[in-house]
Amino acid sequence: MPRHFLTLRDLDSSELRELLVRARRLKSGEEGGPILAGRTLAMIFRKSSTRTRVSFEVGMVQLGGHAVFLSDATSQMGRGESIHDTARVLSGYVDGIMIRTFEQAEVEELARHATVPVINGLTDQVHPCQLLADLQTMTEEFGDDLSDCPVAWIGDGNNMAHSWINAAAMLGFEMRLACPEGYDPDPALVEAARGSTSVVLTRDPAEAVAGARVVTTDVWASMGQEEEARVRAAAFEGYRVDDELMSLAADDAIFLHCLPAHRGEEVTAEVIDGPRSRVFEEAENRLHAQKALMVLLLDRAR
């Protein structure tokens, strides 16, 4: 059976740590070359992207492989071909499938029917590839042991928040989430993580940020939520990351954001463009962390 990456929990904690070490080795040039020569990754985009597409495509090229872009507009999926049939057909052509879409159930169905590894490039439920890059950025800043690195999430309890909660449970750091009422993360996921680490939910961003070594957020209205933008802007007004809020964090704290960012909404320009920001290092690390992931999944896939 193929090995899939649908959430961070498809790795165990030791595998996740090893993957982050390998990502840094790939970034530094200590490891590299045509590890995936002759391998091909199909990339299905039902949601548009900048970082996900470029990082996976460039990553395959750098590893000696090839990537094929598919969207509803450029494939039969746009005319209603089933996930089952898409999975079976692509499995006969390629060595792996990355999909960026809306429903987690669609990724899971693809994985059920594919005979090659499936990678979740993003769903409305989780964004595990982004967390690989975020964790790599943390290890570059704080070292391999992140257990003493409290993370403060400010804003929507969305797919990014869910993936941060999974990461905290796997690596043992404290996770603090400040979310407006009505925008909390999945309570079942929170309770599951509390068996492994401290997960704190609060309405007060200052409480979440106090002493944190990582402060992170996301846009107030994610892709597909544009019609809710006005309502969300009112609900999230007190959840902007600014210099005053960052001043409550640890002296060595860094700011992360998965991008794209809306300066002046969820974060001020002074923070995201300031000395504590690591957002562009974080964005670059999508490339290296995903290369490590693709080597893990595709090197022995066939």
Active site residues: 100, 127, 130, 218, 258, 286
Residue 130 known to bind ligand:
yes
Residue 196 known to bind ligand:
no
> Quick check: 31 and 22 in contact, CB under 8 A?
yes
Residue 149 known to bind ligand:
no
Residue 258 known to bind ligand:
yes
Residue 170 known to bind ligand:
no
Residue 159 known to bind ligand:
yes
Residue 51 known to bind ligand:
yes
Residue 71 known to bind ligand:
no
Residue 100 known to bind ligand:
yes
Residue 286 known to bind ligand:
yes
Residue 49 known to bind ligand:
yes
120: nearest Cα among 162, 85, 154: 162
Q: What is the 3-state secondary structure (H, E, C) of the chain?
A: CCCCECCHHHCCHHHHHHHHHHHHHHHHCCCCCCCCCCCEEEEEECCCCCHHHHHHHHHHHHCCCEEEEEEHHHCHHHHCCCHHHHHHHHHCCCCEEEEECCCHHHHHHHHHHCCCCEEEEECCCCCHHHHHHHHHHHHHHHCCCCCCCCEEEECCCCHHHHHHHHHHHHHCCCEEEECCCCCCCCHHHHHHHCCCCCEEEECCHHHHHCCCCEEEECCCCCCCCHHHHHHHHHHCCCCCECHHHHCCCCCCCEEEECCCCCECCCECHHHHCCCCECHHHHHHHHHHHHHHHHHHHHCCCC
Residue 218 known to bind ligand:
yes
Indicate the pairing of strand 151-154 with strand 214-217. parallel
Residue 75 known to bind ligand:
no
Say if residue 3 is exposed, middle or buried (CB neighbours under 10 Å; 0-12, 13-18, 19+): middle
- Annotated binding site: which residue ranges? 49-52, 76, 100, 127-130, 159, 218, 222-223, 258-259, 286
Task: Point out the annotated binding site for L-ornithine.
Answer: 159, 218, 222-223
Binding residues for carbamoyl phosphate: 49-52, 76, 100, 127-130, 258-259, 286
